[in-house]
Amino acid sequence: MTKDAMQTALDPHAAVVSEASGGAATLLTTADGQPLARALARSSARARRRAFLLVAPLLLFVVITFVIPIGQMLHRSMYNAGFADNMPQVSAWFQDNPPGTPIDDTAWGALAADLKAAAENRTIGIVGTRINYDVPGTRSLFTSTGRKARDGFEPPYRDALLAADAKWDNPTLWRAMRSASSAYTANFYLAALDRTRDDEGSVTMVPERQQVYVMLFKRTLGLSLLITGMTFLLGFPIAHLLATLPMRKSNLLMILVLLPFWTSLLVRTTAWMVLLQQQGVLNDIFVWLGIVGPDGRLQMIYNRTGTIIAMTHILLPFMILPLYSVMRTINPSYVRAARSLGATSWTAFRRVYFPQTLPGLGAGALLVFILAVGYYITPALVGGSTGQLISNMIAMHMTETLNWSMAAALAALLLGGVLVLYWVYDRLVGIDNLKLG
Amino acid sequence: MTKRLIAGTALALMAATAVSAQDGITITTYGGAFGEALNESLAKPFTAETGIPAMMVDNSDPPAKLKAEVEAGNVTGNVFDVEQSDVIRLCDEGLIEPIDPAMLAPGADGSTAEDDYLPQALHECATAIMVWATVIAYDVGAFDTAPAKVADFFDLENFPGKRGIIKRPKYALEFALLGDGVAPDEVYDVLSTPEGVDRAFAKLESIKDQVVWWEAGAQAPQLLADGEVAMTLAYNGRIFDAMVGEGKNFGFVWDGANLDMDYWVIPKGAPNMEAAQKFIAFASDPARQADLSKYIAYGPPRKSAAPSVGTYKDGTTEMAPYLPTTPENAESALVNDAGFWADHGTELTERFNAWLAG
């Protein structure tokens, strides 16, 4: 097929020509005699392939940097093979014998053999760390017994292990080992909700003084909503001003909005420390004005107030920019028309102007809220003891306790919460009404 | 033009990979002033002596990076700087290579490395780089009589003013027990019992409304300098920088100091193992360790290196009074027990956070 012929074959108009010149043919064909349907299918398939090639890099990027890591995170939150993989014999004993079976010589023998193998393979720490998640203080039990196990244990194994450390007789430890012998577990989710399993295996709350995650989830949600509300109250008038001022003035104002946006997050957070601390600029001004006494300086940072102020400021541009882009497109004659028809300025704003800004408001609110829910460094630095968010605990599990399964479970719960709110938002406002710019 | 640009980029990339993969080593540290000090006192002399290029890489969390690299089977770093708690964990999990003490340099007095290194400074998978301490630092102008004991930190009557404490149970709980009169060598025994933990929290509770909690090491000297707190727990290196570098009028209380060490480790399956081991042997030389104190206020982990510690890089400041390893400073010090925290870290951190928020 020559190039010309191919181009004709791909040209849908060629079919019309062919039909017109071919007279009363029952089957529509292209100029070179092919059935039209097939030629069309082929050409559109080719177009689809090309289009796909165009988006392929992006698709690959999204899969590699987004879908796979999140999938891995979700997997890790309920999968931890640290015990099952490295203690195969005792894991097999747990599989063969239902809960409640007395721990017999076979089990003690399997445990002794597994401990020896794990110590030789240098995996004993992984095993101990896994059990330590459920029974604090047992990690060193595994590693110290492992050091003794390198020479091997003599039967009877129960006596040998108890001689190495009497803690091996603890029923809670055996229950934890049984639960860890299957790699898939919901225990990390239970722990992330301040719950645990008691010795009978039923779910209970952890002691009150250990309960921290549910409270932090609630606080994160509450503070994020509050911050979203604050950015709306502060951002709406600014966006309106930006959209209605003459170009030269609004450009200047826009720079004032964007400049902090372009400044490093850390710089902005530190600047708030300088402003708000007890010996800081604001307190100095208050004392100078006589509003507070030198001993009554206000505590405005290293607490929840500091977190709210700093995060509201940092997230403000994410509210202003979508609002601004929507407000700029609102035709001022609508409000003028409403006024001329007798509406008060408040009614005109409420019934005519405000509803038109909703797409921008929705986008801004969603952006600010989702960013606030995951905020980490600002609450870490200015939050003190009462301004911590759940992300600080996730970071702690990632970098300090290295309990990544726990971090993943907390993160998955956070992700789930955001998705539920997104769904609610979609039902209430409608995601089609979103406008980012 | 474009072609030349591509060729240039390709060449640069090739050069970069050549350094990291073939003959050179990369040294991953926490960066900052410590990274610079290591570069001056170790990396540069190492390259000068052996001809092996050594590249410093800054990372906010070297152990997490090491763990990620080994688990992904793609190890790029050769030597990592990690803290004590991480050494225990990484070694137990088989993520780092064993280090044979026989390859380390002998002491300045001819003693073996095993005899010469401080207790806990040699580990089967790691060797200590330096010793640092979490100590009480105070603003000299804030008090008529200078605080001298741990108990003074908890004495709001005679030493009024806000207190800064690290926002982590590690250091804070041990410190509270020391302040409550527990002897340094009994702290971890007490903290292993539920009553001991209650006791530590009760002690912290007694000053809770006067505490500013800090998170990053740089915050402590800043809080002191701004007058936000009168006394704070702080890393000794940071306070030294503020005192000597910036001329701040701060003071140390060495009573109740909590000693901790950083270690060199080699990730499992790291490329260019021989050069990495050479570097660790080079870094174990007492003279090199004493030289580190010229750049930063951390003490050498070998006893025989302590007498060789001289002056700071400014040429006038004697380093000995500022170092946690100087014998008179280390008298009542507690050596941090990373094994304890590996066992109880999660549990105590949860309780600590619940207590903070309550």
The ipTM (two decimal places) reads: 0.74
Same domain, B282 and B217: no
Chain B residues whose CB is inside 8 A of the A384 CB are 212-213
> Is B243 among the domain residues?
yes
3-class SS at B43? helix
A129 vs B: CB within 8 A: yes
pLDDT digits 0-9 by tens, A386-410: 888 899 889 888 877 778 899 999 9
Please say if the pLDDT value at position A23 is more than 60: no
Taking Cα atoms as reference points, which of A250, A274, A254 lies closest to residue A262?
A254
> Is B246 among the domain residues?
yes
Cα–Cα distance for residue pair A387/A276, rounded to 1 Å? 15
Same domain, B139 and B207: yes
Nearest chain A CA: its distance from B189 CA (Å):
13
Please say if the pLDDT value at position A321 is more than 60: yes
Cα–Cα distance for residue pair B289/B10, rounded to 1 Å? 39
Searching chain B, which residue's CA lies closest to the CA of residue A386? Answer: B357
Q: What is the pLDDT of residue B129?
A: 94
Cα–Cα distance for residue pair A359/A327, rounded to 1 Å? 10
Handedness of CA A210, A213, A218, A220 (dihedral sign): positive
A266 vs B: CB within 8 A: no
B149 vs A: CB within 8 A: no
Chain B residues whose CB is inside 8 A of the A298 CB are none
pLDDT digits 0-9 by tens, B294-323: 998 899 999 888 888 888 888 888 898 899
Nearest chain B CA: its distance from A398 CA (Å):
8
A398 vs B: CB within 8 A: yes
Same domain, B142 and B170: yes
CB contact under 8 A, A122 and B92: yes
B143 vs A: CB within 8 A: no
pLDDT digits 0-9 by tens, A232-242: 999 999 999 99
Taking Cα atoms as reference points, which of A302, A284, A276, A286 lies closest to residue A385?
A302
Searching chain B, which residue's CA lies closest to the CA of residue A295? Answer: B161
CATH number at residue B186: 3.40.190.10
Q: What is the pLDDT of residue B245?
A: 85
A263 vs B: CB within 8 A: no
Same domain, B151 and B184: yes
Please say if the pLDDT value at position B193 is more than 80: yes
Chain B residues whose CB is inside 8 A of the A126 CB are 92-94
Please say if the pLDDT value at position A118 is more than 50: yes
Chain B residues whose CB is inside 8 A of the A388 CB are 353, 356-357
Please say if the pLDDT value at position A56 is more than 70: yes
CA–CA distance from A234 to each of A220, A221, A231, A318, A383 (Å)? 21, 20, 5, 12, 22
Cα–Cα distance for residue pair A134/A132, rounded to 1 Å? 5
Assessment of whether the complete model's pTM goes beyond 0.90: no
CB contact under 8 A, A277 and B351: no
Strand B231-235 with B163-166, pairing: parallel
Same domain, B112 and B26: yes
Is the peptide bond between A237 and the residue preceding it cis, with omega within 30 degrees of 0? Answer: no
CB contact under 8 A, B215 and A129: no
Q: What is the pLDDT of residue A227?
A: 96
CB contact under 8 A, B93 and A133: no
A215 vs B: CB within 8 A: yes
Q: What is the pLDDT of residue A436?
A: 62
Chain A residues whose CB is inside 8 A of the B213 CB are 302, 384-385
CB nearest A136 (choices: B63, B64, B344): B344
Chain A residues whose CB is inside 8 A of the B343 CB are 132, 136-140
Summary mean pLDDT of chain B: 88
CB contact under 8 A, B356 and A381: no
Same domain, B196 and B308: no
Q: What is the pLDDT of residue B54?
A: 94
CB contact under 8 A, B93 and A126: yes
Nearest chain B CA: its distance from A171 CA (Å):
19
Same domain, B235 and B154: yes
Place of tokens 């102008």: B141
Domain extent, residue B149, equals 133-260+333-357
Structure tokens at A161: 């292990």
CB nearest A209 (choices: B167, B212, B355): B355
Searching chain B, which residue's CA lies closest to the CA of residue A302? Answer: B212
Count, residues in chain A: 437
> Percent of chain B, pLDDT > 90?
56
Give residues 6 to 65 of B whose Cβ lies within 8 Å of A: 61, 63-64
Chain B residues whose CB is inside 8 A of the A143 CB are 92
Q: What is the pLDDT of residue A5?
A: 47
Please say if the pLDDT value at position B160 is more than 90: yes
> Percent of chain A, pLDDT > 90?
45
Same domain, B86 and B183: no
Searching chain A, which residue's CA lies closest to the CA of residue B162? Answer: A278
Residue in B70, B88, B93, B265 to test binding to A, most A beta-carbons within 10 Å: B93
What is the rounded average pLDDT of the residues A312-317? Answer: 94
What is the rounded average pLDDT of the residues B267-280? Answer: 93
Please say if the pLDDT value at position A8 is more than 50: no
Crossing angle (nearest 10°) for helices A304-328 and A265-276: 130
CB contact under 8 A, B354 and A129: no
Q: What is the pLDDT of residue B257?
A: 92
Searching chain B, which residue's CA lies closest to the CA of residue A143? Answer: B92
Same domain, B137 and B69: no
CB contact under 8 A, A212 and B91: no
Does B18 or A280 have the greater pLDDT score? A280
Residue in A194, A402, A405, A406 to test binding to B, most B beta-carbons within 10 Å: A402
pLDDT digits 0-9 by tens, A154-209: 888 888 888 888 889 888 899 899 989 988 988 899 999 999 887 777 888 988 88
CB nearest B354 (choices: A211, A219, A302): A211
pLDDT digits 0-9 by tens, B99-121: 998 999 998 888 888 888 988 88
End-to-end CA distance of chain B: 64
Cα–Cα distance for residue pair B107/B343, rounded to 1 Å? 34
Taking Cα atoms as reference points, which of B321, B187, B165 lies closest to residue B234?
B165
Same domain, B9 and B91: yes
Cα–Cα distance for residue pair B39/A305, rounded to 1 Å? 41
CB contact under 8 A, B92 and A126: yes
CB nearest A380 (choices: B64, B211, B215): B215
CB nearest B94 (choices: A123, A216, A219): A123
CB nearest A212 (choices: B339, B345, B353): B353
Close Cβ partners of B147 (under 8 Å, ≥ 6 residues apart): B136, B138, B153, B159, B231, B253
Please say if the pLDDT value at position A348 is more than 90: yes
3-state secondary structure chain A: CCHHHHHHHHCHHHHHHHHHHHCCCCCCECCCCCEHHHHHHHHHHHHHHHHHHHHHHHHHHHHHHHHHHHHHHHHHHHECCHHHHHCHHHHHHHHHCCCCCCCCHHHHHHHHHHHHHHHHCCCHHHHHHHHHHHCCCCHHHHHHHHHHHCCCCCCCHHHHHHHHCHHHHCHHHHHHHHHHCCCECCHHHHHHCCEEECCCCCEEECCHHHCCHHHHHHHHHHHHHHHHHHHHHHHHHHHHHHHHCCHHHHHHHHHHHHHHHHCCHHHHHHHHHHHHCCCCHHHHHHHHHCCCCCCCCCCCCCCHHHHHHHHHHHHHHHHHHHHHHHHHCCCHHHHHHHHHCCCCHHHHHHHHHHHHHHHHHHHHHHHHHHHHHCCCHHHHHHCCCCCCCHHHHHHHHHHCCCCHHHHHHHHHHHHHHHHHHHHHHHHHCCHHHCCCC
B195 vs A: CB within 8 A: no
The pLDDT-based confidence of B224 (bands split at 50, 70, 90) is very high
Least confident piece of the model among A25-34, A281-290, B317-326: A25-34
Q: Domain tally for chain B? A: 2
> How many A×B Cβ pairs under 8 Å?
105
What is the longest distance spanned by two Cα atoms in chain B?
A: 74
Summary mean pLDDT of chain A: 87
CATH T-level fold of A213-433: MetI-like fold (1.10.3720)
Same domain, B265 and B193: no
Q: Partners of B235 in the beta sheet?
A: B134
What is the rounded average pLDDT of the residues A52-56? Answer: 91
A303 vs B: CB within 8 A: no
Cα–Cα distance for residue pair A220/A376, rounded to 1 Å? 11
Q: What is the pLDDT of residue A437?
A: 56
B273 vs A: CB within 8 A: no
Q: What is the pLDDT of residue B16?
A: 46
Same domain, B173 and B24: no
Strand B163-166 with B211-214, pairing: parallel
DSSP code for B321: G
The pLDDT-based confidence of B4 (bands split at 50, 70, 90) is low
Structure tokens at A340: 């001329």
What is the rounded average pLDDT of the residues A93-104? Answer: 88
CA–CA distance from B165 to each of A277, A399, A412, B199 (Å)? 16, 20, 32, 17
Cα–Cα distance for residue pair B188/B193, rounded to 1 Å? 9
3-class SS at B189? helix
Burial grade of A222 (CB within 10 A; 0-12, 13-18, 19 or more) = exposed
CB contact under 8 A, B343 and A402: no
Chain A residues whose CB is inside 8 A of the B339 CB are 140
Please say if the pLDDT value at position A429 is more than 90: no
Chain B residues whose CB is inside 8 A of the A128 CB are 92
Q: What is the pLDDT of residue A435?
A: 64
Residue A178 · residue A171 · CB < 8 Å: no
Q: What is the pLDDT of residue A400?
A: 77
> Is B233 among the domain residues?
yes
pLDDT digits 0-9 by tens, A331-342: 999 999 999 999
Residue B40: Cβ within 10 Å count: 16
pLDDT digits 0-9 by tens, B43-89: 999 999 999 999 999 998 899 899 889 988 899 899 999 988 889 88
DSSP code for B156: T
Strand A195-197 with A203-205, pairing: antiparallel
